[in-house]
A and B are shown apart, each in its own frame.
Chain A
Amino acid sequence: MTEDQVKQIVVDIINEIAPDEDTTGLKDEINLRDQMDLDSMDFLDIVMELRKQHGIEVPEAEYPQLASLASCGTYLTPLFNAK
């Protein structure tokens, strides 16, 4: 799985948990919370949906790795490919 595919998975999850947000122009390197109205509970939703939909476990200490789409791609792609 490529980083772009993993980033698209994250965007799909965001579309589910923040349905009022427009995710079409999200910038890769900028923190998601600086681009959208996402709160801490929304981030926990992202973690939960990665677990539920894809069996990916993100330990609490690693949550900062989900800050931007780019960091999500870098951090999550090896986890997806290791499944």
Chain B
Amino acid sequence: MHQSRIVITGIGLTSPNGNTLEEYRKNLLDGVARIQMIDLRYMGKVPAGVCDFDPKKYQTRKELRVGTRAGSIAIYSAREAIADSGLDFENMDKSRFGVYIGTTEHGNVETENEVYNISKFDYDTRYWTHHHNPRTVANNPAGEITINTGITGPHYTIGAACAAGNAGLVQALQMLRLGEVDVALAGGVSESIQSFGIFAGFKSQGALGTHESDPNKTSRPFDKTRNGIVVSEGGCIYVLERLEDAQARGANIIAEIVGYKINSDASDYVLPNPERQAECMRAALKVAGMQADEVDIVNTHATSTPMGDIQECKAIREVFGECATTYINNTKSFIGHAMGAAGALELAGNIPSFKDNIIHPTINVEQLDPECHLTNLVINKPRKVDAVKVILNNSFGMLGINSALIVRKFED
């Protein structure tokens, strides 16, 4: 069966350390993280990744009042991606666009806010907002994009825990290949820093990161003293098109998605399974028709938890242990864990490597955990190489969902 090649022709994002790909990339190469302490209801001060994009750039004040933070992040990222793509968007058939947005969760923030609101009225449910249901339906962030842009093609979110960003891209690729849509807006978003429950849950699990003095050093995957996750908000949305369509309009083709796989551990609610993770990476390579040593960068999922990082390192050693020119890095050491946005956002931070041939490092490794030793782990400072042509992005999530996405520098 002939399958169209699927290419990336636009990227829009907001990350704790950048509201454009250029700013974000510069900070990844300069070692700049921007984690801050926030004051969270019931929790007090906690480290978190906060985005400072201007939501009024694309939304009215009323839209901001009625909608959700996830919706705002999604709209900003989608609009930036459309602008980056060079599409003649206003004059296009909006019914041929699809919107596929990965989310780890949605609705916690809005539900917690309403419970808090009615607590001020003696829990009288007459004070519960009529905005609750449209704000908390699972398709909210994708639906807000369609209302803001006028897109009338399909929209939905893909719930895939912290593999969701990659899952959004996989869904879009498949819909483009099926001919369901001609242009896809796809990626992931997260508003999780406004939910005390997410932080409290990680804390009760022993998985919420802390650092005695510097929030920017809290997320430290592979470091011997790592002690947990920094929760972040963020979003990253790509414009995806079939290659023939992109070429016909003379688009700037940023990269090609050549391989992907999503599988399941089927073993534990939270503890990752390196055997299944390795299978996932190998299966993605098979889809791409590649050998492991053809991959130049493996961008890890590692979240800075004691066990999770070790498990992923085992899986990477299994697949890439013999590869002399495959380099390993991690983006969460800068931006924390952007949950549903993580896969898409972390991939974006590495895509400029196709042009500059520099691999951004994983930072905050003061003492490498021997159990996280990986040959070619790029630690604390960027690494310049001869050429970067292939990136494999890992994103894994709770309930044992694994995803690996392989992106190649575009060559006709």
Interface residues of A (CB under 8 A from B): 17-21, 37, 41, 44-45, 48, 51-52
Contact = CB atoms under 8 A, between A and B. Distances in A.
Contact of A41 (B121, B126, B127, B130): B130
A20 B127 CA distance: 25
B127 A19 contact: no
Given A18-B62, A19-B65, 7 more contacts: A17-B62, A17-B65, A20-B60, A41-B66, A41-B130, A44-B130, A48-B130
A48 B62 CA distance: 16
B131 A41 contact: yes
B126 to A, nearest CB: 7
Contact of A20 (B61, B129, B130, B131): B61
B277 to A, nearest CB: 45
User: Which 7 interchain pairs have the tightest Cβ spacing?
Assistant: A19-B61, A44-B130, A20-B60, A20-B62, A20-B61, A18-B62, A19-B62
B66 to A, nearest CB: 7
B129 A48 contact: yes
B127 A48 contact: yes
Contacts of B127: 48, 51-52
Contacts of B66: 41
Nearest to B126: A51
Nearest to B117: A52
A41 B126 CA distance: 15
B281 to A, nearest CB: 46
B58 to A, nearest CB: 14
Interface residues of B, number: 11
Interface string B127-165: 101110000000000000000000000000000000000
A38 B65 CA distance: 14
Contacts of A21: 62
Contacts of A52: 121, 127
A48 B117 CA distance: 12
Contacts of A20: 60-62
A21 B65 CA distance: 13
Nearest to A43: B130
Nearest to B64: A19
A23 to B, nearest CB: 13
Interface in B44-67: 60-62, 65-66
Nearest to A17: B65
A18 B62 CA distance: 6
A51 to B, nearest CB: 7
B137 to A, nearest CB: 14
Contacts of B130: 41, 44-45, 48
Contacts of A19: 61-62, 65
Nearest to A44: B130
Contacts of B121: 52
B116 to A, nearest CB: 14
B354 to A, nearest CB: 42
Contacts of B62: 17-21, 37
A68 to B, nearest CB: 21
Contacts of A17: 62, 65
A51 B130 CA distance: 13
Contacts of B65: 17, 19
B131 to A, nearest CB: 7
Contacts of B129: 48
A51 B128 CA distance: 11
B54 to A, nearest CB: 16
Nearest to A19: B61
B178 to A, nearest CB: 35
A2 B37 CA distance: 49
22 contacts: A17-B62, A17-B65, A18-B62, A19-B61, A19-B62, A19-B65, A20-B60, A20-B61, A20-B62, A21-B62, A37-B62, A41-B66, A41-B130, A41-B131, A44-B130, A45-B130, A48-B127, A48-B129, A48-B130, A51-B126, A51-B127, A52-B121
